[in-house]
Amino acid sequence: MNKKAIYVLFIILIVAVLGLGYYFNKINPADQVNNNQGQEQNNDQGNGNNSGTSPDLKAKILELVGKANEGKNEEALTGYLALEKDNPTDLLLLNNIADLYSDMGNWTKAEEYYKKLLNTYPSFIQGYRMLAYLYQYRFNDDEVKIKALIDDGLSKNNNHPDLLSWIIDYYQQKEEGEKALPYSELMKQQIESAQ
């Protein structure tokens, strides 16, 4: 297979991935916590994981989001960490703590909280993506950590198409398409089995 054929195959796969992602989102429109401090969300991820964020806790989190949005990051962080003592496994809270640490430039603590989030909610796909971006852009494009993280997420989430798409795109951006081939093959198998 020549290079032109490989690139054409990749383009076809990317289009298919986008279509498959749209298809999965239409079938299962689970709300996910965004990486912008504090959108009110439904924490049921559509796969049995429900963080159980009570309305009272959600209100407190949203109040702290307001503080972070006003630039009062230390005050918001102090509030989040106080809430964490009584709610150590709440998805929305863990995600907001990780995001705030990232916003504050404390990459090590952001990594710690994203890992805690993923250990508690291994099917929270957005968490894998956010931690992978952290490794890519803040940890000097640590390919070993990125690959291990995405492979772990794929194994725990039945080769989720969003993670496959992420890692394929990652290698294509690096112009290392040959490393994306195993992931492209997994994506192809998913597409064929969905038909």
Map out the domains of the chain with their CATH numbers.
Answer: 1-30+164-195 (no CATH), 33-157 (1.25.40.10)
DSSP string, 155-179: HHTTS-HHHHHHHHHHHHHTT-HHH
Question: How crowded is residue 156: how many other Cβ atoms within 10 Å of its Cβ?
Answer: 13
Using the 8-state DSSP alphabet, how is residue 35 labeled?
Answer: S
pLDDT of residue 190: 87
pLDDT of residue 94: 97
Closest CA to 94 of 107, 106, 105, 81: 81
pLDDT of residue 114: 98
Residue numbers in the chain where pLDDT is lower than 70 = 1-51
